[in-house]
Amino acid sequence: MYLIYEKDTLGRTIFEIIFKNTGSVFAKDGVANMCAYMLNKRGTLKEKEKFYSALEEKAINLTISANKEFTTISLVFLNEKKNFAIKKLLELLENPNFTQEALEKSKLELLAKKETLKNNYDYIANQNLFKTIFKNTPLQHPVIGDEIEKITLDDIKEHFTLYSKESAVFINGGKKIDIKDFLDVFPSKDIKKDKFFKPKHGNITEKHLVEQSYIYFGSEYDIANNELYLAKVATFILGAGGFGSRMMEEIRVKRGYAYSAYAQNEFQKTYTILKGHLQTKLENTDDAINIVKELINDFVKNGVSEEELNQAKKFLIGSEPLRNELLAQRLLRKFKEYYYNLPKGYYEKELEMINSLELNTLNDFIKKHDEIKNLSFSIVTNENN
């Protein structure tokens, strides 16, 4: 158990519980998402879906979701509704509507959602990338699951026991919440062991009746915690900085191949990769892929210029207040410091490190990480392309 608290006087409270190592990577296919979905949609045994109407009447926002690594319960309410909000959340956690009827209804809804995703080609290209580079690992499956039909009620009930005292991280902003009642509700159970997966290399193309090609790419990015600030600056210049970044300039501005082209860092506890994407006309597909390869090869070989570094510093430091002005943003940063084993106050120190960063230090870092040249591609394109 870990507690993060920040006082706030704006009249509302944010209360979240994050259960570590309860995401899709740590569960049978689709179970983590289904468990969170049922809590989010099916209510309590006593009230069923009417449970949420009582919250809505008092403007209480409850959201429960799972990602690849953890499950989040998020409760936002006006301070005067504190007692009612906490009482209702405890009711849900003590007596969730985990019945066969509720499971079957949830399956139908999630299967319908999966059906709509068949026309989301960005989703398909991104998911195919993970299926390829993380083949034969839990990361190859989408959080929603590949085989929803096979989930059983016993799977849900067993997974729910992972919402334990040991895995819980409490995040509280605003009015202080006594967490004792929650600790009494949660079972005592060891946290599942951490997992980490290195990406493999591979390419995949899927054909659909599309009018443009969707290109997603990724590579290993083997970053240590003391290199995070260097990776942030490097990838900002390469492709995360929008207009002015290498990818946007080469692919959109100079050639007009795409409306947007990005590369970004995806640094999670279970994997660390460089990932990017763009959409382009069918006839430009092969050329666009070659440009991405050339861009990254040149980036590693020759590094960046003093002007690019100065522009990156200016933006990253200048926009800092916008990333830290809301209570929710500050709480999230504190959670990230804890979750990723960063020192307290890391993000303030990171700004100082970026501000004092010298060009040769950054270029030495870029040259060292030539693993990003080993790109894998996932392409959704037309059947006739």
The low-confidence residues of the chain, meaning pLDDT below 50, are: none
Residue 254 and residue 163 share a domain: no
Residues 100 and 211 in one domain: no
Beta bridge partners of 280: 213
Domain that holds residue 268: 204-382
**Within this chain, do residues 179 and 273 fall inside the same structural domain, yes or no?**
no
User: Domain ends where: 132, 153, 185?
Assistant: 185
pLDDT value, residue 384: 77
Q: What is the pLDDT of residues 64-109, one digit of tens each?
A: 999 999 999 999 999 999 999 999 999 999 999 999 999 999 999 9
In the three-class reduction of DSSP (H, G, I as helix; E, B as strand; rest coil), residue 160 is classed as helix
Boundary residue ending a domain (150, 185, 220)? 185
Same domain assignment for residues 22 and 146: yes
Q: Tell me if 191 is assigned to some domain.
A: no
Residue 244, φ and ψ in degrees, nearest 5: 100, -20
Which pLDDT value is given to residue 324?
78
For residue 256, the model assigns a pLDDT of 85
**DSSP readout, 243-274?**
TTSHHIIIIIITT---S-EEEEEEE-SS-EEE
Q: At what angle do helices 359-368 and 228-235 cross, to 10 degrees?
A: 90
Amino acid 18 reads I
Give the 3-state secondary structure of residue 200. coil
Reported as a single tens digit per residue, the pLDDT across 326-344 is 899 999 999 999 999 999 9
The rounded Cα 359 to chain-centroid distance in angstroms is: 31
Same domain, 163 and 268: no
Kindly state whether residues 213 and 181 are assigned to the same domain: no
CATH number at residue 312: 3.30.830.10
CB atoms within 10 A of CB 130: 22
- Residue 99 inside a domain? The answer is yes
pLDDT score for 9: 82
Strand 376-382 and strand 204-208: the pairing is parallel
- Inside any domain, residue 145: yes
**The last residue of a domain, from among 120, 151, 185:** 185
- Does 198 fall in a domain? no
* pLDDT score for 241: 78
Residues 160 and 215 in one domain: no
Residues 57 and 8 in one domain: yes
CA angle 78, 80, 81 (to 5 degrees): 70
In a domain, 119, yes or no: yes
Q: Alpha-carbon distance 164 to 137, whole Å?
A: 25
If asked whether residues 266 and 138 sit together in one domain, one would say: no
Could you give phi then psi for residue 130, rounded to 5 degrees?
Answer: -65, -35
Are 238 and 359 found together in one domain? yes
pLDDT for the residue 176 = 94
- In-domain check, residue 199: no
The domain tally of the chain equals: 2
Same domain, 280 and 362: yes
Say if residue 166 is in the same domain as residue 226: no
Contact 376, 199 (CB under 8 A): yes
The reply to whether 192 falls in a domain is no
DSSP secondary structure string, 95-152? Answer: SB---HHHHHHHHHHHHHHHHHHTT-HHHHHHHHHHHHHTTTSGGGS-TT-S-GGG--
Q: Is the pTM of this model over 0.75?
A: yes
Instruction: Look at residue 10 in the predicted model and tell me its pLDDT.
Output: 85
